[in-house]
Amino acid sequence: MSAEFSFTLNANDGAARTGVITTPRGEIKTPAFMPVGTAGTVKAMLPEYVRATGADIVLGNTYHLMLRPTAERVASLGGLHKFMNWPHPILTDSGGFQVMSLSKLRKLTEEGVSFQSHIDGSRHMLTPERSIEIQCLLGSDIQMQLDECPAIPIAHEDSRISMLLSARWAQRSKDAFEKLSNPGQALFGIIQGANYEGLRRDSLERLLEIEFSGYAVGGLAVGEGREEMFRVLEFTTPYMPKTKPRYLMGVGKPADLVGAVARGVDMFDCVAPTRSGRHGQAWTKAGAINIKNAQFSDDAEPLDPNSECPASRDYSKAYLHHLFRAGEYLGPMLLTWHNLQYYQDLMVEMREAVAAGQFGEFKRRFQAATGEAIV
């Protein structure tokens, strides 16, 4: 395995692309879905089963890990890969998004963001430099710049000010990364600018000047709705470098993924399959179902008799229904597993469809099967 980070594009079909990201810890086939391993574990999953679903990479949350068990402790225990028994690639976010959504008494300045831990009230400061230092202590393969991620709607001027701050933080993140990182690690910049085309273009140009190994679209999936998100992608991805991975952060549901791949996105992460699984929601080829509904109490069929995933194939819906009704651990375990398999199978289908030049046909089939209006 090479010690270099690289991206190879293998095929295009319209705006949709398929390729491979190479890292020292292994390859990531794109379009890729990254299961979220918030606190050093993809919730309710054994890591070997995450791998078995076909996941090439998982995401770790800097905010959670810096507070508990702390980045220094993870480093002293040999890094995040060893800590969580996942020897494959890991992407870490910058921590910024969750500081703003989870912490208390936060204060944003040019320097960074100071905040109080939601766990024990302790005080912390997250700067671009500290975020990169933490991500390097964790040892992640793909790291993200610190950015500010405001919700939509936001006034144009407020969005511009925020985007410019993120751009300055991008430069400071890059400078810190060049000092602290190891060969083969990669840093991605994050395009901000809400749903303003001019700001998105301006943001991207500033990032291109700094130069990153990949570019993310941030600040979406923050309440704007699917149609608006797709509209933003349509005036953003065409200008992103063709030779670098494109990552749509925090997205999404299956129809979001299909629509975003159609618009040229390569990478995704989202808590949807794991969180929904813990709450009894299962994605199936015919759309989403809630296994807790009484209609499943006598349903002898598994979620997907043709799947190779034991969670999808070896347990009746009636049994899964029973597990959730009885509050058993195994319910969330099996539904999380099933959902992650569904997501990875979807990525395989999309990669194959793009490679075969049949993505349009795939999209039509997906819409017909799931009843999704907009993809």
Which are the catalytic amino acids? 93, 269
Give least dist CB 124 to its own copies, A: 17
Kindly indicate which of the ranges 88-96, 210-218, 328-336, 348-356 contains the residues binding its own copies, using the contact rule CB under 8 A.
Answer: 328-336
Paired strand residues for 76:
none
Single residue of 2, 3, 10, 77 touching its own copies by CB under 8 A: 77
Q: Is 211 in the site for its own copies (CB under 8 A)?
A: no
Q: Are 97 and 250 in contact (CB under 8 A)?
A: yes
Which residues of 128-280 form beta strands (DSSP E)? 142-144, 186-191, 214-217, 246-248, 267-270
Give least dist CB 221 to its own copies, A: 24
All residues at 6 or more sequence positions from 366 whose CB lies less than 8 Å from its CB, including other chains: 254, 255, 258, 372, 375
Q: Is 46 in the site for its own copies (CB under 8 A)?
A: yes
Single residue of 41, 171, 290, 367 touching its own copies by CB under 8 A: 41
Q: Is 279 in the site for its own copies (CB under 8 A)?
A: no
Strand, coil or helix: 290: strand
Q: Is 36 in the site for its own copies (CB under 8 A)?
A: no
Q: Are 39 and 67 in contact (CB under 8 A)?
A: no
Give least dist CB 116 to its own copies, A: 18
Strand, coil or helix: 100: helix
Element (H, E) at 171: helix 156-180
Q: Is 24 in the site for its own copies (CB under 8 A)?
A: no
Please tell me the distance from the alpha carbon of residue 250 to that of residue 157, in angstroms, as a whole number. Answer: 25
Please tell me the distance from the alpha carbon of residue 167 to that of residue 244, in angstroms, as a whole number. Answer: 19
Single residue of 105, 286, 294, 300 touching its own copies by CB under 8 A: 300
Mark residues 331-370: x for contact with its own copies by CB under 8 A, - for none.
Answer: -xx-------------------------------------
Q: Is 78 in the site for its own copies (CB under 8 A)?
A: yes
DSSP letter for each residue of 117-128: -TTT--EEEE-H
Residues that bind its own copies in the complex, under the rule CB under 8 A: 39-41, 43-46, 48, 64, 68-69, 73, 76-78, 83-85, 297-298, 300, 310, 314-316, 318-319, 321-323, 325-326, 328-330, 332-333
